[in-house]
A and B are shown apart, each in its own frame.
Chain A
Amino acid sequence: MMLNAENRKTALLLIPIILVLAGYVLYPSIETTIESFQRDGTATLKNYGDFFGSKASSNLEALWNSVYISILSVLFSALIGVPLAFIFNRYDFPGRKFFSGAAIMPIVLPSLVGVMSFMFLYGEAGLVPNAFKDLFNLSKVPFSIGGVPGILLVHAYTMYPYFYMTCSSAINNIDPSLEDAAYNLGSNRWTVFWKVTFPLLTPALVAASLLVFMVSMASFSAPFLLAGGFRVLSLQIYFSKINGNLEMAATQSVILSVVSISFLLFMRWFQNRRDYRMASKGIGAHRSEVSNPFLKWTMVCLGIVAMIILLLPHATLLILSLVPEGTWTWQIYPTTFNLENYILLFKDTSIWDPVRNSLFMAFVASLGCFAFGIITSYALVKRKFIGKNLLDILVMIPWALPATVVGMNLILAFNKPTPFSFGQTLVGTFWILPLAYFVRFIPLVVRSTSAVLEQLDDSIEEAAQNLGAKWFYTFRKIVLPIIMPGVLSGTLLAFVQAVGEFPTSVLLYTLSNRPISIEIMNQLRMFNLGQAAAYGMIQVGLIAVVLFISYKFLGVKSEKTM
């Protein structure tokens, strides 16, 4: 029967997908799980005993810290993001468009670079506290960030865009006539908000909360730079690994994975549940013009102040990147500015090497994501087969797993020769990092590709087939060109994120493939803030260019880029 030919095609597509997922996602996770049940070569539950037992209370403490920091991060991000979304989408006042564009600026800062700029600004030696000290002639800095408040501040700053963007699009999807109907039935503003608007926003709020919770459970850079003696789980994994206690690192990874994957499953369930999202189309948000002049200008002023605070990290990064090495030692403010840090990139190979490494490895990884993403999305969206749901979950797992865990998994899987590494030991070689980046960013490309593929009507492919085109010809000439914008925007995003990736890099780098983020840490350690900032600027510049291209040429909205 011909049906078998269709099935054969599907099977042919699925074989590479399953091999890759099994080899680089499933197998490493399994190795980690096995390792977590071992102590000195024998199977045991001891590691878990140590984790939960009284002996190592530090682990439980770290788990608890991770959880409560994540909950507080959700709360603070929501407190900033949701009101901003309301103000910018419901009220019209001078500069609204500009402010709403600037409100998503935190997303161009890779996490390590973001934390670094916060340290430059508000840390012990930061510009702002020292400016206060200078202005008021104090004997020591009046405040500085660090520890839990520092982590929370950075989290709120980097994660509120999740709330801002999901809420903005939800608000714009609410049919204004619903609220009008409620007013018409005699409700006041308060009732309308709580009884109509808020329930309609609930799905978006829940989705954003889950997302922020997962991201902050996985957060590595902020605790790494700011925690001091404070323990969180993602950091504990790193310390266990550094101390050579791989079994404990594995145990901690398993526990963090369990939390993250349950969240992934919960999120899937939540999004697939029928919700009361609106079907009515083509309704723009109706914005009320703020007419009271006092209120209007207060809003504008508040907007300006908020923008300054939001963009201060970017500005600081730019300014510090112009400060040459050795010119800012005891002074409160830097005094010399020039382009030396950038010029050195081209002159000094030891400074250029990390950039080249990062670019090359990110390129290789995103090329892999590109090819793998296209095949996988196509199979998931357009083909029928048993176990599709399972494959879908498997593909999304690298997204749910914290980067530290992905790193640990790869270490435990490839610190010995395996068939998946063609009989090589990958750990300690150049190729382990591109592999890590590839695994990390598969879901990004799959998601952006699936989104466009779902838009592609099945009859388009059928029409080509009907005109005599074979499957592969149709795929090349019809499907690929149509979905290319979505694939490219996902791939570009994967590329820039790989360039900025810190947690897996710090676990897996070697001398030969030292990427930018590692070099930033080195420069910070040597107090060469200028060079570190210059590296940061390269990443920010790349991200900005990619977002611009996606927006301008690929027609991708900023909220899709999360």
Chain B
Amino acid sequence: MSAVNLSNITKKFGNVTAVKELDLKIEEGEFFTFLGPSGCGKTTTLRMIAGFYYPTAGKVKFNDRDMTTVPPEKRNTGMVFQNYALFPHMTVAENVAFGLKVRKLERSKVKEKVKEVLGKVRLEKFIDRQVSQLSGGQQQRVALARALAIEPDILLLDEPLSNLDARLRDEMRTEILRLQRDYGITTIYVTHDQVEALSMSDRIAVFNEGRCQQIGTPTEIYNDPVNDFVAEFIGETNLYNVAYENNRLHCADLGMDIQVEEPLDERLRNQELKISIRPEAVKVSDEEITGLNVLRGKVKIVQFTGAAVHTLIELSKGVQLKVTTLNEGPFTYLQEGVEVVLQLPPEKIRVVPSIRERA
């Protein structure tokens, strides 16, 4: 088991900068996720940790050992590829045994270990199958078993579930978590699926265009996004431009001053700002509400999704607000077209700098 320390990593391909000045420390035994939209540099970072790319600048360390230019075969990482990359000419057992044979383990030990690992991923029955005769989920398990068999210091998974259907994805998610806990292995997981990231990870790094935007636990990332990109990428949110003048936050879109709980951070005062409030944090009622940040609007669309009800409310021309409420029975649903009163609770509002251009 190892901690991973990336310091000031930059990776360029020609004149494309895939990863920019990345600083990251992943603790021993942690389940760490790289999350971000397509092309933001997640795979590139993972491959630098595995050793398939060498950084243009910066250092990769496992614990205190400098691994920056160590070739991949000497890093003892276990990687699960997006397309599994199983060896097509070998059986399940031979695939799993490959890394052990490379390590010159005794024949009987190899056999034992293969059995054990295949047992862990519940594939004992398929031990002598040709890999081409397995289903997608089973191939995924073989790939996992193959990576785990070598007892890697770090487990690397690059969108391992993206080729599976939704049901199997759920099942494999649990499976991967269980194995990770069993082995207590430092794991780096790449995904662009935010639900996957939030539900599985100890900590998440959110990437955008080669830069790491925020590192934190799922709750930190969700509740305290550092900028509008993170707020919008993780979960649903309502974002409005605000201006900071005379110690007040004025929101032109909502046509009012917004009250927040804490005074604005000094460093933010000169930046372009937005407020972000999650749909489930908004209070909505068809009766009068008293207090701070109270608004009026008209219900436009009501969308029923089972556990929750999403309501889109028009505040004024072109300004809308998303609200999510728990399903508490048919009488609580709002009717389309009715006037409602809304409140944005000050303690739920986040003021974030805007890194995206104004729409």
Contact = CB atoms under 8 A, between A and B. Distances in A.
Contact of B102 (A3, A460, A467): A467
Contacts, number: 71
Given A468-B103, A482-B88, A1 B98 contact: no
Nearest to A466: B79
Nearest to A484: B89
A5 B71 CA distance: 9
Contact of A462 (B72, B86, B89): B72
Contacts of B71: 2, 5, 465
B99 A467 contact: yes
Contacts of A469: 73, 98-99, 102
Contacts of A460: 85, 87-88
**Majority DSSP secondary structure for residues of B touching A:** loop
Contacts of B87: 460, 463-464, 478, 482
A468 B99 contact: yes
Interface residues of B, number: 29
A466 B78 contact: yes
A459 B81 contact: yes
Contacts of B73: 465-470
A455 to B, nearest CB: 10
B278 interface: no
A481 interface: yes
A2 B54 contact: yes
A478 B69 CA distance: 24
Nearest to A467: B99
B81 A468 contact: no
A473 interface: yes
A467 B54 contact: no
Point out which of B83, B88, B98 has the most chain A C-beta atoms below 10 A from its C-beta.
Answer: B98
Nearest to A1: B69
B52 interface: yes
Interface string A1-31: 1110100000000000000000000000000
A309 to B, nearest CB: 44
Interface string A245-279: 00000000000000000000000000000000000
B4 interface: no
Given A1-B54, A2-B54, A469-B98, A463 B89 contact: no
Point out which of A460, A464, A466, A470 has the most chain B C-beta atoms below 10 A from its C-beta.
Answer: A466
A457 B82 CA distance: 12
Interface in A422-467: 457, 459-460, 462-467
A42 to B, nearest CB: 51
Interface of A: 1-3, 5, 457, 459-460, 462-470, 473, 477-478, 481-482
- Which 9 A-B pairs rank lowest in CB-CB distance, beginning with the nearest? A467-B99, A2-B69, A459-B85, A463-B85, A468-B102, A466-B79, A459-B81, A465-B72, A469-B102
Interface of B: 50, 52, 54, 69-79, 81-83, 85-89, 98-99, 102-103, 146-147, 150
12 contacts: A1-B54, A2-B54, A457-B85, A462-B72, A463-B79, A463-B86, A466-B73, A466-B79, A466-B147, A467-B99, A467-B147, A468-B74
